[in-house]
A and B are shown apart, each in its own frame.
Chain A
Amino acid sequence: MTVDKQAPASGSIMVVGGGISGLTTALEAAEVGYEVFLVEKNPYLGGRVAQLNQYFPKLCPPTCGLEINFRRIKDNPNIKVFTLAEVEKVDGSAGNYEVSVKLNPRYVNAACTCCGECAKVCETEVPNDFNFGMDRIKGAALPHEMAFPARYVLSPRIIGTEDARKCKEACKYDAIELDMEAKTITLNVGSVVWATGWEPYDANRIDNLGFGRYQNIITNMMMERLAAPNGPTGGKILRPSDDHAPQSIAFVQCAGSRDENHLPYCSYICCMASLKQATYIRALYPDAKIYIFYIDLRAPGQRYEKFYNKIKEDENVFFIKGKVAEVSEDPESKNITVVAENAVTGEKIHQTVDLAVLATGMQPTAANVRLPADLKYTEDGFIINDFEKGGMFGAGCANKPADVVSSNQNATGMALKAIQTIAKR
């Protein structure tokens, strides 16, 4: 152990990212008595999990899990949550970091009761990123139904407009502060856990799969939003071109995954996600035909395999071993034809469906923009944990593609690593 590692250390832990992994790390550390700063760039906590309709394999909604975590945060004075916050710079070394955090203005203070009067008077609508742009929301809105903190947020787009003034006037609680400004604060912490999560791989980049060109080709994450009761269609899965209920759906597995031209690795969850989404369709439209085109179906572990076997029994779900490499659209009906070779029979299949879902993989957030800290990454942007050096750790999907269970296990481990960094002083 080197001498400078024994420099006086701060007893606090910073967790960057308020998704399921970040929540877990923050809570595990805080509940054994450590002070934790939880930094989240969105105006709400919950991350990607909050966007799901159901978890696999139990098929419970994300409120199951997120709610209890929010409750634990509320009850725990050790956790300080910063939303709309981004880490700008990390200086120092293990045990002694100085972190600059930029706090973006929410324009709404803690007095907000979620009465919704501001949204009623606001006329401007902005694309809803939470629903992947499939609908629009008011310039003053609650990010989503179960947003935590439960507080409205004003879009920067309406600031300085007539709309903003109307919103302020409509608020009975003086909760809207239009003069809020971005500010940067400095926090001293002993260790930093990066739970910066993932982005769905940009399907527009997969030229041969037609996303962005044909309306009725969506991604698996868009399917989650369509199936979610708080989604753009209120939980009805409707195809984008005409809002009709699809009677046939194709799932295109490994869309841009395990592919040198895109993401060279397997994202671990997409096979299970598509099997799960087959159950969404089955529940809504019992007669719909579901075609799953795959290279190999990966359902790791006994529980996932059981789930897969259950779906296999469904006579309306067809599994075709062969990757879809070509798609086309019928200009009249807007139906999609996917083309694959069935590698078992050696016949090319041209399957026309109402809706096609691209099972795209996860790309670590750091793949596109590196994090403002001295970290090591794999070629694909996943954080490589250097336990020798210590101090900063990647958790959850920032570290490797994983499902919720594995992310939580990993995040718990990283909470311990963060604690060890501090306890070593």
Chain B
Amino acid sequence: MTERYMVEPDVGFINEVIGLGGQDLKKCYQCATCAVACPISPDNKPFPRKEMIAASWGLKDKLVGNADIWLCHNCGDCSTLCPRGAKPGDVLAAVRSYAIQEYARPKKLADMINNPKKLPVLMAIPVVLFLVIGLMAKLFGLHWLDITPNGDSIVHAKFIHSTLVDVVMIPTFFFSIGVFALGLRRFMADIHKDALICGKTDKEKIDPKGFVEALVKVIPTVLQHKKFTECGENAERATSHMMVFFGFLGLFIVTNIFFVVMYGFGIHGPYSQLNPVKWLGNIAGVSLIIGAALMIKDRITKDDQVSAYKDWFIVVLALALGLTGMLTQMTRIGGAACMSYSIYLLHLICIWTFFISLPFSKFAHIIYRTVAMAYMEYSGRK
């Protein structure tokens, strides 16, 4: 090797990865069992052996902008066969978590979302927003907020008006989209640069047309969880993940239909239980609840897998989203007014937390992993 490479270990980075769930990474002795055990690792520059040495040497630049950390689906086959108990699967999960925080700006918000102590503050933000905007709206004669809603039937819009909900939620959602867009721009540039250095691709530049074609090609793989089911060690995880994934997708579709129908045709909810859109919503909700509950159960019962705050955050939030949504509906039908309004508020808090945390938490994997898989497809790596 004529090329000189100056190793610049970043001790802080090592400690962060250890703190994010990679506590066993230093046990690795580079036998490369993991790279063979992994059912989805490519033949050319396979992972995660090279990631393990980069992590224990603190080579941040070789990891954060490395698409391979996203190709991993954390099935755990590598950790099972690892002769040292270094848990490469958990180390890569920790590195991904670090990478998400690297690409998500502003940093302050990223810190808040990934710090359990700041969770109450985070969840108080939507409440404050509703109060402030609701009260300000009152000054203009808009009755968007009524903290003592009365009436014969329970109508959640009387408590917090749909418009107020949308005024808070929609900008939050698009803020997150913006954060993603900015992060992705840097992410794409980094993974391409890394692939060129490591010889993972023969393409000089990313051609947008070719990349979009690759993206379209991987979408069915993502929807069918094909990579997930290739994993041997915990294939059952694919089921719970699929339930959560399609639960979210279904609810997203329902929300959009609801939005269009309300603002376009002036028809307000709640819909009749016989309405197919309602069916979709309920099925998606149940799927989300069961899937998230299974994931939590899996994490509790698996003592050989490391679970950090980042892991609990998204599974518990997913379950809370589903449960509060379902309970809001049930208490509404059951006529428990006070309870229904309270749970509705909780539900809104969960939704807002979900939106704002999308680019900062583990939820961001839906974007980064999809892009990394598309890039792998595009790069022509074998």
Contact = CB atoms under 8 A, between A and B. Distances in A.
Q: Do A and B bind each other?
A: yes
Interface of A: 208, 254, 258-262, 295, 321-326, 339-343, 346-348, 350
A325 B30 contact: no
Nearest to A320: B32
Contact of B32 (A258, A259, A343, A350): A343
Given A258-B83, A343-B30, A348 B37 contact: no
B45 A347 contact: yes
B348 to A, nearest CB: 48
B15 interface: no
Interface centre among A295, A321, A323, A350 (most CB of B within 10 A): A323
B30 A324 contact: no
Pairs A-B, 3 closest by C-beta atoms? A259-B83, A325-B36, A341-B35
Given A323-B31, A323-B32, A340-B32, A346 B37 contact: no
A325 B33 contact: yes
Nearest to B199: A346
A325 B49 contact: no
Interface in B83-127: 83-85
A261 B32 contact: no
Given A325-B37, A346-B198, 5 more contacts: A261-B83, A340-B32, A341-B46, A348-B43, A348-B46
A325 B29 contact: no
B32 A341 contact: yes
12 contacts: A258-B29, A258-B31, A260-B84, A325-B32, A325-B36, A325-B37, A325-B81, A326-B36, A341-B46, A341-B49, A347-B44, A348-B35
Contacts of B33: 323, 325
A103 to B, nearest CB: 42
B227 interface: no
B26 interface: no
Contacts of A323: 31-33, 36, 83
Contacts of B198: 346
A67 B89 CA distance: 54
A98 to B, nearest CB: 44
Contacts of B83: 254, 258-262, 323
Interface in B1-58: 29-37, 41-46, 49-50
A343 to B, nearest CB: 5
B46 A340 contact: no
Given A341-B49, A347-B45, A348-B46, A322 B32 contact: yes
Nearest to A338: B36
A350 B198 CA distance: 21
B81 A341 contact: no
